Amino acid sequence: MDELTLIQRIVVWILPVVFAITVHEVAHGWVAKKYGDNTALRLGRLTLNPVKHIDLFGTIILPGLLLMTGTGFIFGWAKPVPVDPRNFKKPLQDMAVVALAGPVSNLLMAVFWALIARIGVTIGAGNEAIAHPLIYTGVAGISINLVLALINLLPIPPLDGSRILTGILPSYWAWQYNRLERYGFIILLALLYFRILNVLLEYPLYIAQNVFFTIAGL
């Protein structure tokens, strides 16, 4: 996408970014409801309306800065959907499943965007005005959803990976481990700043992109 102008890149990325983050959070709330917690539903957060989920910094400012600086690595977050594990029969284990729902939703959306790109590829030459936007947006959708899925699987509290790990740890060690949550955001930003995050995710992202780009016919 290097041949696109900044404005064109923003147009291409805005829908995939916003909906990748929004659907991720709704997936948490939807699965939590299935396990007996109606908190998200009661607070009006089980909706695909992005306005209900937008976090000024995580949904708009940070992805925008990463896009403008051309880091090649774009991610963000929405306002977390509230979940009350006290409503679950098995709080730690059920919370692990709720946490896993977020990355799984991103993988499903990556499939959706791969099919969008595939339509653009199928339309092909002679229909560039339609085909190119579908391909570019599809590639952006694949990329942002794979990045979000992989980042959220990292075992850094409060990312989803930490909730999954908590579900399989003994109670005492789960409690000790989650004490790191107060430092989680700082750890994540440090990993991003020192480009350690790029190193950690580069190879798995490369493998995953190859799979989904093959689905897209790219």
Q: Which residues are catalytic?
A: 25
Angstrom CA distances, 56 to 14, 48, 61, 182, stand at 14, 17, 6, 20
Token representation of residue 104: 């799984």
Which DSSP symbol is given to 58?
I
Q: CA–CA separation, 21 vs 151, rounded Å?
A: 12
Asked whether the CA dihedral 156, 158, 159, 165 is positive or negative, the reply is: positive
The token pair that represents 71 in the structure block: 């880091």
Q: What angle do CA 206, 16, 161 make, to 5 degrees?
A: 55
